[in-house]
């Protein structure tokens, strides 16, 4: 019988510092962390140097007993992750997961980056426990522990204060006795007073942990200390060269630094149209540089020049060519047998115009496409009306006919989120998304106003894609908030058409540039060496 861990998947924000080297605070930190680890929970802390020793002691003890270093997450603002802190960070990564929040400091003041870091911790934690802290008697506005507590309480999350050992939290409680009534931790005022004023370390730790175990916080479908990660790749035809170049640059920079490949860091990859070709290629184990070479070398074959007359009469480009080139790359592999990660590939059923997603069989009720080949899945999402013929697949029941998934989800972030929440049972607040676009331009559709079909015809598709992209991103931001979604894209002064073979090298150069520009931020948030668990096939 498996041992029940009452805090499985729960993240506790431990807020505090111990500048005065109070022995009771040090003992509290070490004992409290050890108990949380044992119960399956994770400690999240803002990397204050005075807490390093007791947290390291607890984490190393847990690791020595067979535990995971992901039980401790140490968070740093970007201004405290520069080269001068490299040795300290390397040491921390031996016993903890280190998260670097990409908040820039203002006016050269590194502490100005702490507020976004605190917001990041509050957003990702389930409860907060405060002990110690500094600055209350000198500069209350600069006292981090009260600020972190208030941020969590404003989000409706439970808090506990261990104010019997001194520090800023003691000063805050003495000045604001009503704080006890705002803790929202399920305890009455008298019980919270016992915890808040207690001076026996063991007793205070036991009381807090016991009440944490009583709260409805358990998150059993998430990996300890690590969010479920989604990579979402937009559609955009040959503009996928940009995306491939971004990924190739990141892969090169990761490997140069001794890191592992990109795809292993993601639990689910979603791709539409050209993004589907990229996503499936990555899932089958292709190196991003190989995929980039495919776009650079085969792009002109897929999108030949001078097809304007043909475009009026039939599909502008030859689907047979695309199929044959994909067969050369993917072979006869299938999503179910050969994908190293879960996939979501948006498409459209041609018969009724029904939005659909081809997915790997990662859930008992998501097995309809278990036998689909990688080639058929990619073509089903890439059959852009007027550019390519429809794609067909002989399904288990009948012949299926598909059109490009970009018709409804050119940015696949929303179907990816829906898949994770609905079928994989991942809590929305435990999901991080990295989405990559395929270049955008400064579009202005006001010139077409009032001009009827003739005026709108050349621009209608651009309008649909622009509105869809903005809508998907706005909804994703509203669901995830700014700390759990990172968008990578680049704007061009003049639109690059989705079949512009003459712009391949420009797009590759832009992708290489964007990859370099965003690497530090992406690495700290996604490529941190904490890999996705192997997915279960059904």
pLDDT grade, residue 268 (50/70/90)? Answer: very high
Query: Are 232 and 413 contacting, i.e. CB atoms less than 8 angstroms apart?
Result: yes
Q: What is the mean pLDDT of residues 113-126?
A: 86
133 and 282 part of one domain = no
Task: Give the total number of structural domains in the chain.
Answer: 2
22 and 105 part of one domain = yes
Of 3, 32, 191, 48, the closest CA to residue 127 belongs to 32
pLDDT at 483 over 90: no
314 and 438 part of one domain = yes
Residue 94 lies in a domain: yes
201 and 249 part of one domain = no
What is the rounded average pLDDT for all residues in the chain?
Answer: 91
Residue 472 lies in a domain: no
327 and 260 part of one domain = yes
Residue 78 lies in a domain: yes
DSSP count for the chain of H helices, then E strands: 20, 16
182 and 302 part of one domain = no
More confident residue, 110 or 507: 507
Query: Are 345 and 359 contacting, i.e. CB atoms less than 8 angstroms apart?
Result: yes
148 and 251 part of one domain = no
pLDDT at 106 over 60: no
Q: Give CA–CA dist 384/401, Å, rounded.
A: 13
Q: What is the CATH number of the domain that holds 73?
A: 3.40.50.450
CA 377 to chain centre: 24
In the chain, the largest separation of any two C-alpha atoms, in whole Å, equals 84
pLDDT of the residue at 105: 53
In the numeric block, which tokens belong to residue 376? 């058929």
- The 10s digit of each residue's pLDDT in 36-70 is 999 999 999 999 999 999 999 999 999 999 999 99
What percent of the chain lies above the pLDDT cut of 90?
Answer: 70
- The 10s digit of each residue's pLDDT in 139-174 is 888 889 999 999 999 999 999 999 999 999 999 999
Q: What is the mean pLDDT of residues 516-537?
A: 89
Residue 3 lies in a domain: no
183 and 250 part of one domain = no
Residue 5 lies in a domain: no
295 and 439 part of one domain = yes
Q: Which range marks the domain in which residue 355 is found?
A: 228-445+484-526
Query: Are 368 and 336 contacting, i.e. CB atoms less than 8 angstroms apart?
Result: no
Residue 432, SS3 per DSSP: strand
pLDDT grade, residue 308 (50/70/90)? Answer: low
- The 10s digit of each residue's pLDDT in 271-301 is 999 999 999 999 999 999 999 999 999 999 9
78 and 176 part of one domain = yes
pLDDT of the residue at 261: 82
Query: Are 43 and 71 contacting, i.e. CB atoms less than 8 angstroms apart?
Result: yes
pLDDT of the residue at 464: 80
Cβ-in-10-Å burial (0-12, 13-18, 19+) of 94 comes to exposed
pLDDT grade, residue 128 (50/70/90)? Answer: very high
In the numeric block, which tokens belong to residue 514? 């964007």
Residue 221 lies in a domain: no
pLDDT grade, residue 112 (50/70/90)? Answer: low
The set of catalytic residues is 273, 404
Q: What is the mean pLDDT of residues 332-361?
A: 96
pLDDT of the residue at 450: 82
Q: What is the CATH number of the domain that holds 441?
A: 3.40.1090.10
Alpha helices in 68-188 (DSSP H): 86-92, 114-124, 144-154, 168-175
Residue 40 lies in a domain: yes
184 and 305 part of one domain = no
Candidate from 205-214, 216-225, 380-389 with smallest mean pLDDT? 216-225
- The 10s digit of each residue's pLDDT in 362-407 is 999 999 999 999 999 999 999 988 888 899 999 888 899 999 999 9
398 and 520 part of one domain = yes
In this structure, the number of other CB atoms found within 10 A of the CB of residue 86 comes to 10
pLDDT of the residue at 305: 76
pLDDT grade, residue 468 (50/70/90)? Answer: confident
- The 10s digit of each residue's pLDDT in 1-28 is 556 789 998 999 999 999 999 999 999 9
CA 500 to chain centre: 31
Given 154, 181, 214, which residue is the final one in a domain? 214
Residue 260 lies in a domain: yes
pLDDT of the residue at 231: 98
- The 10s digit of each residue's pLDDT in 398-444 is 899 999 999 999 999 999 999 999 999 999 989 999 999 999 987 77
């Amino acid at each position: 019988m498996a041992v029940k861990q009452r805090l499985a998947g729960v993240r506790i924000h431990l807020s505090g510092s111990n500048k005065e080297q109070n022995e009771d605070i040090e003992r509290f930190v070490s004992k409290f962390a050890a108990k949380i680890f044992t119960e399956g929970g994770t400690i999240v802390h803002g990397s204050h140097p005075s807490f390093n020793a007791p947290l390291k002691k607890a984490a190393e003890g847990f690791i020595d007993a067979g535990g995971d270093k992901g039980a401790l997450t140490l968070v740093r603002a970007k201004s405290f992750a520069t080269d001068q802190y490299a040795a300290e960070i390397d040491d921390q990564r031996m016993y903890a997961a280190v998260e670097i929040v990409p908040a820039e400091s203002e006016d050269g003041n590194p502490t100005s980056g702490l507020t976004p870091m605190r917001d990041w911790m509050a957003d990702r934690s389930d409860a907060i426990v405060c002990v110690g802290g500094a600055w209350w008697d000198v500069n209350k506005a600069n006292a981090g522990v009260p600020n972190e507590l208030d941020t969590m309480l404003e989000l409706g999350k439970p808090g506990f204060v261990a104010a019997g050992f001194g520090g800023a939290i003691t000063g805050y409680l003495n000045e604001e006795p009503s704080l006890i009534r705002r803790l929202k931790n399920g305890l009455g005022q008298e019980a919270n007073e016992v915890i808040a004023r207690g001076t026996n370390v063991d007793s205070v730790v036991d009381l807090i942990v016991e009440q944490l175990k009583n709260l409805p916080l358990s998150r059993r479908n998430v990996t300890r200390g690590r969010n479920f990660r989604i990579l979402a790749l937009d559609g955009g035809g040959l503009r996928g060269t940009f995306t491939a170049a971004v990924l190739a640059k990141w892969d090169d920079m990761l490997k140069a630094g001794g890191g592992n490949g990109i795809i292993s860091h993601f639990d689910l990859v979603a791709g539409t149209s050209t993004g589907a070709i990229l996503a499936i290629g990555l899932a089958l184990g292709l190196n991003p540089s190989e995929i980039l070479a495919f776009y650079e070398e085969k792009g002109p074959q897929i999108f030949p020049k001078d097809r304007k007359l043909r475009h009026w009469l039939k599909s502008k480009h030859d689907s047979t060519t695309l199929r044959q080139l994909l067969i050369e790359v993917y072979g006869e592999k299938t999503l179910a047998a050969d994908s190293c990660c879960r996939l979501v590939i948006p498409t459209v059923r041609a018969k009724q115009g029904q939005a659909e997603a081809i997915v790997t069989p990662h859930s008992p009720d998501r097995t309809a496409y278990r036998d689909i080949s990688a080639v058929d899945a990619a073509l089903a999402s890439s059959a852009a009306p007027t550019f390519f013929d429809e794609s067909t697949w002989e399904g288990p029941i009948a012949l299926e006919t598909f059109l490009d998934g970009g018709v409804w989800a050119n940015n696949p972030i929303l179907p990816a989120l829906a898949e994770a929440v609905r079928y994989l049972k991942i809590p929305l607040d435990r999901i991080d998304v990295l989405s990559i676009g395929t270049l955008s331009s400064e579009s202005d559709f006001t010139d077409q106003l009032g001009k009827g079909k003739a005026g709108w015809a050349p621009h209608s598709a651009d309008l649909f894609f622009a509105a869809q992209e903005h809508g998907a991103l706005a909804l994703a931001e509203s669901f995830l908030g700014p700390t759990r979604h990172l968008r990578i894209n680049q704007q061009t002064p003049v639109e690059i058409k989705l079949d512009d073979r003459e712009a391949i090298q420009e797009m590759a150069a832009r992708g290489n540039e964007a990859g370099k520009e965003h690497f530090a931020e992406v690495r700290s948030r996604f490529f941190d060496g904490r890999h996705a668990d192997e997915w279960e096939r059904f």
